[in-house]
A and B are shown apart, each in its own frame.
Chain A
Amino acid sequence: MRVLIIAHAHPDFSKGGGELAAYQMFQALQQRGDDAWFLAAHREQSLSHGGTPFSVLREREILWFAPMTDHFLIAPSNRQTVWKDFRELLERLQPEVIHFHHYMNIGIQAIQQAVQYRKTVGKSVRVILTLHEYLVICANDGQMILRQTKELCTEANPPRCAYCFRDIGKQPEDFFLRNRLFRACLTGVDAFVAPSHFLKKAYVRWGLAEEQIAVIENGQPPVGKLLPRGLRDDEVRGEFAYFGQINQFKGLDILLSALDFLPKASRKKIRVQVFGTGLENQPEAFQQTIAQLRERLGRYVVFHGSYRTEQLPGLLSTVDTVVVPSIWWENSPLVIQEAFKYGRPVICSDVGGMREKVRDGVDGLHFSCRSPASLAEAMVKASEPNTWDHLHRNTPVPVTVVACLEQHDPLYFGKTNDLQKRPAELSPWAVLANVLN
């Protein structure tokens, strides 16, 4: 069976979890003997030819030059590449399954083109979309937090969205049109995949049919769990770590501030290691906050800079617990899966996808989102060796890529959904209410 996997970026050039998951599926399909192709978008002019948006990276891996200009309507700057070039590609490749892992860069209209292609070709072609984020629901980079205050947003409707975007003059009608356009573009998709129940719930609230969304966690290449870090007699489990891009939504400032809230007894026994870069791209104010915390905390904070995925086992062996202090909902953070597969418990904010993926008191601990004091409490608990052992023993083995692929088979082989039915409009506005479980 010929499967075309489409991603908004290629892991060779971009480090996000979404493109990595897409690529791993492509590789797993190849390994089990399926006729798989990978189409990845990119924005590097230098990698593209003139006269065509396509170029080749390796056999069966096609790159698509797709600079996107309209982020609000997720529209490509050049529509012709969607209805002409992409369509021609489909007609040449003749895939039986077209699996989108994203619509950023290529434009959400590409999904409709796949649906139209299915109509003209007459035989069974399945169009699948894996949802890795909330862009369709929230124009604020898909984060579902308010632009000015950065608070968590619990309800999306055009008047509220317009109010959130009042600084750039958006009106409720703009969001009305945006929602309708997206609903139209997603009509005809056979099945949606959500890596977390939280994300599925958000999309059901937005208007996708419950039955059409399957919750399938992203697979991970299988590895062995690491041994715990060796401790001296009087030592506690005091090595905590932050992995990943440093940006203002991932809460590094909360983690560093938490060290100020530690009780005296714990203060000299707990340290935070930071793996990752990106601070220099953040707003001035955030950079200053981190710099000040760094200076005050002295040797209790270590910034290691960037790391490669291959280095993870080595780095995690020097660490007891991974902290994911994001201030937004998240979906299924890759760092949680990576921590678990190597046997490291996770402390995370008690909201959204994080809360779902980490079981409080079982394989990790929750803390009250954005509260350094609450995080400090959790860190003290996790530093207690017996508690830590319990959490460590319960860290789950993440689903393998092969198992993840097998969960997709019913979607790949199922019957084509020929409904022209568009995602419902629940009330005049779609409501994203009460998603806090």
Chain B
Amino acid sequence: MIDANNAISATRVHAHNRALSKCRAVIDDIFPVGETGFFVVGGIAGIGQYTREIWLGSDTEHCDILQQASRYPRPDTIAETGSHSDYRISDSGFMAFIPDGMLRLREERLAVVCDGEVLYHLEVRKMPICGMPPLETAKRLLRHVPLHGGRMRELFERQIAPAITTLDFPNSATIKPTIREYGVMPKQPIASVVVPLYGRLDLMEHQLSEFRLDAPFCAEVELIYVLDDPKLQDSFTSFCHAVAPLYGVPFRTLTYGINLGYAGANNIGARVARSEYLVLLNSDILPDQPGWVQTLKAIYQQLPDCGALGVRLLFPDGSIQHDGMRFERFPFLDHLWINAHPGKGLPASEASLPTTTTLVPAVTAACLWVSREDFFKTAGGFDEGYLIGDFEDSDLCLKLLVKGRRNYLTQEVVLYHLERQSQSLSSETRLLREQITAYNCWRHTQRWDAMLSRLCEED
């Protein structure tokens, strides 16, 4: 496979038909991971009982990639070779993370071997590496993960996660953002609202339009917008300059020229926040009543041991988008734990009466009240190991539970959440999204499986 962004690729060299029938190895993708490693994905089939190997290194000093690889079904490989393979379909695909692979790649080829005899070589073309950004590498890894067929967990655990962990993602702790202020900020804010921005800026204007009508908000709340999208950096400054005086709502902006992801953007905003309390807020959330932040504070102060306080969120049509989260095993993702939203889609009037504040295991960070101390000291901020953004909120809520806090959901404060379906995605992009979500979901389950099993047995 030859790919313009590919640093290395592998093609077969000088193989006779007899050799191919004994062992037909195909490399679908091979690329560097981190400074020294590479990741290889391919398929293997053949007729006859042999010990088949793929050697990395020289003929005299080598290691077998297949030893380190995980195997999984690749029906397309078998189809390509015909049905006469002695390989089971379940073993026909392989993927391997070789941590020191780039160092050991001698003479730039891999040897395909049967019973110790080199049948032919796969030439690995090495081109100058421009350095794929860590997120791009992670996406490339995840593209190959089959979500069905039962091997997903093992592939994450044995190959994908070890590879991702060596990647050098930027961390919010090392970033010094540029801070700008528009308007006159409240001197002693009762809360800091942190809003990460990515992909689009127009929603920020709609939020400002709503906040403008909320006099207590303008007087007592520190509003912080965090731009997590370097592509928008140039237009962002002129956008703020055009829009800020139009609405007259004071706000601060943080920019830092890279994409940290949801967790990092929130961590940085929370770090810079000046008040004791944080309201983590998505950019696609619109308040419905003035004074909602003050109301949240009043509710929080009445609740014993409150860690995270979440709110009821509605879709624009008035149906429930979020009413607290519950954990469930999802059979279609190998029974990993997912964050369920009970009542989602039901008309709010039917969902529950009267409006109450209840204990829940977790709440969404689309709108979440938490003290700054709990966020950082008790929970250690958002975990930046989740890719792009997902599960950070339930992760945070569970960290708070472990330290003895309790999480609550209040229906007395209601906001709109414009959680939109992205219609224009290609099926390929949709699949990648699912793969990224699956990885985050697996990572979350790895950490919390025991605790969630206990929690759900107690119910």
State which of A78-86, A145-153, A224-232 sits at the interface with chain B: A78-86
A179 and chain B: residue at smallest CB distance: B316
Asked whether A159 is an interface residue with its Cβ less than 8 Å from the other chain, the reply is yes
Most interface-central of B242, B316, B416 (chain A CB within 10 A): B316
Total count of chain A residues near the partner, CB < 8 A? 28
Bound together, the chains give a CA A80 to CA B240 distance in angstroms of 11
Interface members, chain A 65-79 (any B CB < 8 Å) = 78-79
> In the complex the two chains form, is A171's CB within 8 Å of B420's CB?
yes
> In the complex the two chains form, is A173's CB within 8 Å of B316's CB?
yes
Nearest CB in chain A: distance from B274 CB, A: 27
Bound together, the chains give a CA A181 to CA B203 distance in angstroms of 11
Which of B213, B215, B420 touches A173 (beta carbons < 8 Å)? B420
> In the complex the two chains form, is B317's CB within 8 Å of A429's CB?
yes
Known contacts A171-B420, A176-B418; decide if A79 and B246 are in contact (CB<8 Å).
yes
Contact with A along B193-218 (1 / 0, CB 8 A): 00000000000001001101101000
Bound together, the chains give a CA A428 to CA B349 distance in angstroms of 11
Known contacts A79-B242, A177-B418, A180-B206; decide if A420 and B213 are in contact (CB<8 Å).
yes
Asked whether B296 is an interface residue with its Cβ less than 8 Å from the other chain, the reply is no
Interface members, chain A 345-365 (any B CB < 8 Å) = none
Nearest CB in chain B: distance from A370 CB, A: 32
> In the complex the two chains form, is A116's CB within 8 Å of B213's CB?
no
Interface members, chain A 42-85 (any B CB < 8 Å) = 78-80, 82-84
Asked whether A187 is an interface residue with its Cβ less than 8 Å from the other chain, the reply is yes
Asked whether A158 is an interface residue with its Cβ less than 8 Å from the other chain, the reply is yes
Nearest CB in chain A: distance from B358 CB, A: 24
Determine the chain B residues whose CB is within 8 A of the CB of A429 once the complex forms: 317-318
Nearest CB in chain A: distance from B61 CB, A: 59
Asked whether B286 is an interface residue with its Cβ less than 8 Å from the other chain, the reply is yes
Nearest CB in chain B: distance from A402 CB, A: 38
Bound together, the chains give a CA A187 to CA B242 distance in angstroms of 21
Bound together, the chains give a CA A173 to CA B245 distance in angstroms of 26
> In the complex the two chains form, is B423's CB within 8 Å of A169's CB?
yes
Contact with B along A136-172 (1 / 0, CB 8 A): 0000000000000000000000110000000001011
Asked whether B303 is an interface residue with its Cβ less than 8 Å from the other chain, the reply is no
Known contacts A84-B245, A109-B246, A171-B423; decide if A180 and B210 are in contact (CB<8 Å).
yes
Determine the chain A residues whose CB is within 8 A of the CB of B286 once the complex forms: 177, 180
Known contacts A79-B243, A171-B420, A187-B213; decide if A177 and B206 are in contact (CB<8 Å).
yes
Asked whether B248 is an interface residue with its Cβ less than 8 Å from the other chain, the reply is yes
Determine the chain A residues whose CB is within 8 A of the CB of B215 once the complex forms: 420
Judged by DSSP, the binding face of A is helix
Nearest CB in chain A: distance from B287 CB, A: 10
A79 and chain B: residue at smallest CB distance: B242
Determine the chain B residues whose CB is within 8 A of the CB of A214 once the complex forms: none
> In the complex the two chains form, is B206's CB within 8 Å of A82's CB?
no
Known contacts A116-B248, A173-B420, A176-B418; decide if A184 and B316 are in contact (CB<8 Å).
no
> In the complex the two chains form, is B246's CB within 8 Å of A184's CB?
no
B246 and chain A: residue at smallest CB distance: A83
Nearest CB in chain B: distance from A174 CB, A: 10
Bound together, the chains give a CA A50 to CA B286 distance in angstroms of 38
Contact with B along A418-437 (1 / 0, CB 8 A): 00101000011100000000
Determine the chain A residues whose CB is within 8 A of the CB of B210 once the complex forms: 180, 184
Which of B212, B317, B418, B420 touches A159 (beta carbons < 8 Å)? B317
Contact with B along A170-199 (1 / 0, CB 8 A): 011100110011001101000000000000
Bound together, the chains give a CA A159 to CA B318 distance in angstroms of 12
Determine the chain A residues whose CB is within 8 A of the CB of B242 once the complex forms: 78-80
> In the complex the two chains form, is A172's CB within 8 Å of B316's CB?
yes
Bound together, the chains give a CA A36 to CA B287 distance in angstroms of 40
Determine the chain B residues whose CB is within 8 A of the CB of A171 once the complex forms: 420, 423
Interface members, chain B 311-360 (any A CB < 8 Å) = 316-318
Sample of 17 further A-B pairs with CB below 8 A, known A116-B248, A169-B423, A420-B215:
A78-B242, A80-B242, A112-B246, A158-B316, A172-B316, A177-B286, A177-B418, A180-B206, A180-B210, A180-B286, A184-B209, A184-B210, A184-B212, A184-B213, A420-B213, A428-B318, A429-B318
**23 A-B pairs with C-beta separation under 8 A:** A82-B246, A83-B246, A112-B212, A112-B246, A116-B248, A158-B316, A158-B317, A159-B317, A169-B423, A169-B424, A171-B420, A172-B316, A173-B418, A173-B420, A176-B416, A177-B418, A180-B206, A180-B210, A422-B213, A427-B318, A428-B316, A428-B318, A429-B318
Residue ranges of B at the interface with A (Cβ–Cβ < 8 Å):
206, 209-210, 212-213, 215, 242-243, 245-246, 248, 286, 290, 316-318, 416, 418, 420, 423-424
The 10 tightest CB contacts between A and B, nearest first, are: A428-B318, A176-B316, A83-B245, A79-B242, A83-B246, A184-B209, A173-B418, A177-B206, A79-B246, A181-B209
